[in-house]
Chain A
Amino acid sequence: MSARRQAWKRSLLLAVWTAAACESEMIEPRFAPVTEIGNSIAYGLWSPSGTDTCSKALHDSYSVVGPDGLRYPTWHPAVDPTGCTFGHEHGRDPHGSRLYAEVGDIPFGYANQHLVESGFGNPRNEDHFGHKVEWENGMLMRAGNTGTATLEIRCDVLTKLHQGTHSPDAFTNNLHEVAYHIRCTDGTAFSATLLTPIGTPGELVANCDRERHVTVGPATPPNSPDGGGKRAVPDQSCVFSNINRTDGGEPRFDSALHESWEVSASLRAADGHWLAAFNPYYQVMDPSRYHAPGADRSMLRPIDLCYTDAARGKDRCAGLPATPITWDDERSPFKGVRRFVDVNGNFVGNADGPNVWYTDPLGGNGQTTPFPGSLRQWIAKRNNDGLGLHGGVMGNDRDYNARGVRAPN
């Protein structure tokens, strides 16, 4: 009897151990809880101003301790459950993502925080407003050049990009923090956080003519590397051609202001071979500024166009008060709340593993053990060569306008 009990105990223990092993494999991407050691640079940046009604303390309560033990700001609603407003939004509530249980709250500024420590030489810190979350569960992906005709692969995608469209930052600065988590039914999966160079530092690409590179000025940091992709940003000539139309047509603000940040990001091992790569396009239809050479800070405000003869009361300017409103007025239709993400390609080249890699904040120098300034990345042990896995669009059927939201957002 005792022996039988022992056998049962052993079986039960084995079952629990097996389940635990499976569970640990499943949740391995999640950062292990760490002791809090202080605040990050990104924490506490925001304070209420203008029409904002929430307190700084309440805002700072929306935070998470990152894998480095530092406290970071994270997603919060535009309107707090108490009813006060923060005046800005961070996109879609990540709690609805199936990946949230695995990756948790996204620390805003985690890659920025470790850039100097990694030996890069210069800091790159981004403001609080620009962190924008987007996600979709069960996205039907396309494979190769057959769409969904041959393979039926679904992915959960949760991403965050720092995409500020209220200031001239992106005119010159190409380093932006991206967090990208994807889990697919074919086994493609990775979680990446890095500062990714988008296009060439010091210049932008005109949104209405992707061949036209506009040199704006020195980038911050000055040693920002070239990146793949581009930042297609509205510039004055594109905007004017869509507002003051030569054919006498109505102004087209969406065409004039459409902004597309086309990311080409990768995680690479120390020997240079890539482990994971992705190239989502983050798009904004209603930025609150556009590039204007010679203007103060090289930018103008679209809202001011609504009070010109060409656009008064038309298109996005319809319904505005007759007396001009300012760029940061809640009633402005240009506050960066209409966004979507083209998921595009997702590539994994990590069949030989391991799952956990440590890279520098730019995604390079990947090693299997942590080093100063390194970020923890998670990549499935898989190669998805030949699959050509690329996705559709997230967020084009919603905007993130809410009570109190205004530029800067």
Chain B
Amino acid sequence: MPFERRSRRTLLAAVHRASALGLFLCAAASSAGAQGQSRLWYELTVGGSGARLTCDYCAPARDVGAAAALAVGAYAGDRVRVGVELSRWTYRDQDVRERIKGVGVVAHLVPDPKRGLYLLGGAGWTAYRAGEFAYDAPRITVGLGWDIPAFGNWVVGNVVALDAASFGSLRNGGTTVVRDVGLSAVRASVQLRRR
């Protein structure tokens, strides 16, 4: 299907852009680390997420579905780490499998390095798929998390994040079905990070 190819190309382009930006940030952070103590980190989060699709006649509410995210990045100092994140969400209702895929750059700001709290922000791209319907839009992410040292260089913790996408249209093939669609998802996850 031409539409699927186009949609994949859009997502692929978004992945490339996000990766490039992430690599740039990582490189910048590593460069900073060459002068300081920064190094790479990677993280896996799993949990649940409730998503809302909003438009004039969208079915807004969904129960909590499984969510997971994988992030890799670098430290840009004691208080900041940046990286690239891939996220997934899925939920099944009425024999319909709904999926959200996200890709973006994230930054963790640690207000007090002696404490586990950090603030999370990011920007990227979201793709929603359900049956023959598709939605792609830019998104922002905000949230906060809490790190607890586990063992060695590993930390565990919790993170709550809100992904909010807007300025997209719901499409069926090449046809726009609804304009001005928003998609938000609240993720509550546990994380495992190598610092």
List of A residues within 8 angstroms of B95 by Cβ: 147
Candidates A147, A386, A387, A388; contact of B96 at CB < 8 Å? A147
Tell me whether A151 and B132 are in contact in the complex, defined as CB-CB below 8 angstroms, given that A144-B172, A385-B175 are known contacts: no
Is the beta-carbon distance between B171 and A150 smaller than 8 angstroms?
no
Tell whether B20 is near chain A: CB-to-CB under 8 Å.
no
Inside 8 A of B159's CB, which chain A residues have their CB?
none
Query: CA A185 – CA B132 in complex, angstroms?
Result: 21
Q: Does B98 contact A (CB under 8 A)?
A: yes
| Contact (A387, B177) CB under 8 Å given A149-B98, A151-B59 | yes
Whole-angstrom CA separation of A186 from B96 in the bound complex: 21
In the complex the two chains form, is A152's CB within 8 Å of B132's CB?
no
User: Once the chains bind, are A153 and B57 in contact (CB under 8 Å)?
Assistant: yes
Tell me if A223 is interfacial: C-beta within 8 Å of chain B: no
Of the candidates A143, A150, A185, A186, the one having the most CB atoms from chain B within 10 angstroms of its own CB is A150
Contact with A along B115-149 (1 / 0, CB 8 A): 00000000000000011110000000000000000
Kindly list chain B residues whose C-beta atoms are within 8 Å of the C-beta of A153: 57
Which residues 304-331 of A sit at the B interface, judged by CB distance below 8 A? none
B59 touches A152 (CB 8 A): yes
Instruction: Specify which of A150, A185, A385, A386 is in contact with B130 (CB 8 Å cutoff).
Output: A150
Asked if B109 lies at the interface with its beta carbon under 8 angstroms from chain A, I say no
A364 to B58, CA, bound (A): 34
Tell me whether chain A's interface is mostly helix, strand or loop, or mixed.
loop
Taking the nearest CB of chain B, how far is it from the CB of A378, in angstroms? 21
With the chains together, A3 CA to B191 CA distance in Å? 71
Chain A residues whose CB sits within 8 angstroms of the CB of B57 once the complex forms: 151-153, 185-186
Contacts of B177 in A (CB 8 A): 143-144, 151, 385-387
The answer to whether B173 touches A150 (Cβ under 8 A) is: no
A145 part of interface (Cβ distance < 8 Å): yes
Q: A144-B133, A145-B131, A387-B177 are in contact. Are A150 and B56 (CB under 8 A)?
A: no
> Which residues of chain B have C-beta atoms less than 8 A from A388's C-beta?
132, 172
Q: How far is the CA of A149 from the CA of B98 in the complex (A)?
A: 8
A146 interface residue (CB < 8 Å to B): yes
In the complex, residue of chain B having the shortest beta-carbon distance to the beta carbon of A185: B57
The interface residues of chain A lying within 8 Å CB-to-CB of B59 are 148-152
**Interface: B178 (CB within 8 A):** yes
A152 to chain B, nearest CB (A): 4
Interface string of B166-195 (1 = CB under 8 A from A): 000011110111100000000000000000
Docked Cα-Cα span, A150 to B173, in Å, equals 15
Contact of B112 with A by CB under 8 A:
no
The reply to whether B56 and A149 form a contact with Cβ atoms under 8 Å apart is: no
Q: Are B131 and A150 in contact (CB under 8 A)?
A: yes
Q: Which of A133-166 contact B (CB under 8 A)?
A: 143-153
Query: Which residue of chain A has the shortest Cβ distance to B135 in the bound complex?
Result: A150
Contact A145 B94 (CB under 8 A): no
Is B53 close to A, CB under 8 A? yes
Assess the B175–A145 pair: CB atoms within 8 A. Answer: no
CB distance from A138 to the nearest CB of B (A): 13
Point out the residue from A146, A186, A385 that lies within 8 Å of B132, measured CB to CB. A146
Report A-chain residues with C-beta under 8 Å of the C-beta of B133.
Answer: 143-144, 146, 150-151
Q: Which of A148, A149, A186, A387 is in CB contact (< 8 Å) with B172?
A: A387
| CB contact under 8 A between A150 and B58, given known A144-B132, A145-B132 | yes
Q: Are B58 and A386 in contact (CB under 8 A)?
A: no
Closest to B58 in A: A151
Specify the chain B residue showing the minimal Cβ separation from A154.
Answer: B57
Enumerate chain A residues within 8 angstroms of B176, measured Cβ to Cβ.
Answer: 386
Q: Which residues of A contact B93 (CB under 8 A)?
A: 149
Q: Which of B64-119 contact A (CB under 8 A)?
A: 93-96, 98
| B58 engages A149 (CB within 8 Å) | no
Contact B94 A147 (CB under 8 A): yes
Cα distance A115–B59 when bound, in Å?
Answer: 44
Q: How far is the CA of A152 from the CA of B59 in the complex (A)?
A: 5
Per CB-CB distance, the 9 closest pairs between chain A and chain B, nearest first, are A386-B175, A386-B172, A146-B131, A152-B59, A149-B96, A145-B131, A147-B94, A386-B177, A146-B96
Q: List 13 A-B contacts (CB under 8 A).
A: A146-B130, A150-B53, A150-B58, A150-B59, A150-B98, A150-B170, A151-B59, A152-B57, A185-B56, A186-B57, A186-B178, A386-B171, A387-B177
**Other 17 A-B pairs with CB < 8 A, given A144-B133, A150-B131:** A145-B132, A146-B96, A146-B131, A149-B93, A149-B131, A150-B98, A150-B133, A150-B170, A151-B59, A151-B177, A153-B57, A185-B57, A186-B56, A386-B171, A386-B173, A386-B177, A387-B172
